[in-house]
Amino acid sequence: MQSSHAIHTLIVLVSLLLSSSVIAFAPSFGVSHATNTRFTTSIYAASPDVDPQEIIGKTITVKGTVNAGYVRSCIKNEASQMRRLIGTMSPPGDEETATIYVEGKRKMVDGFVRWCAKGTDKIGLSQVLEVVEAVDEVPTGLYDGFYVKLRVEDV
């Protein structure tokens, strides 16, 4: 029993040391689908010092069919209605990447990042969504909802 506690303590310490450049989620979150994905998210489940109710900000870079109206609507629905997050998604452009900025409770923001990481499976149809990077930010408090712009032809 004591050896499993020591192993758990060691895992927590290593996680804290590597928290600025975590390569994948902790085992309790599952395995990342993309091995080249860079997550810099905090692992509150492994650390008793981190409050899951703390308000945080996070910038998430995603790639795939991010300019499609359906993908953007799914992201808006998941962030605002399901997770009660505030923030914005970059306007549609010609590139295959988009930036999502969200603020909210740590457990909701981290859950949203995991949802985005499972994007292709969760969104469905022939849509593709993959997380490139997720970076912790200081919350700005500038938003009162989650805002997404759509292309005129998607409306």
pLDDT given for residue 132 in this prediction: 94
In the predicted model, residues of the chain with pLDDT beneath 70 are 1-48, 122-125, 151-155
Q: What is the pTM of this model?
A: 0.67
pLDDT given for residue 23 in this prediction: 35
pLDDT given for residue 71 in this prediction: 87
Say what percent of the chain tops pLDDT 70. Answer: 63
Residues ≥6 apart with Cβ < 8 Å to 75 = 89, 100, 116, 148
pLDDT given for residue 143 in this prediction: 94
Is 109 within 8 Å of 14 (Cβ atoms)?
no
Q: Which helix (H) or strand (E) holds 88?
A: strand 86-89
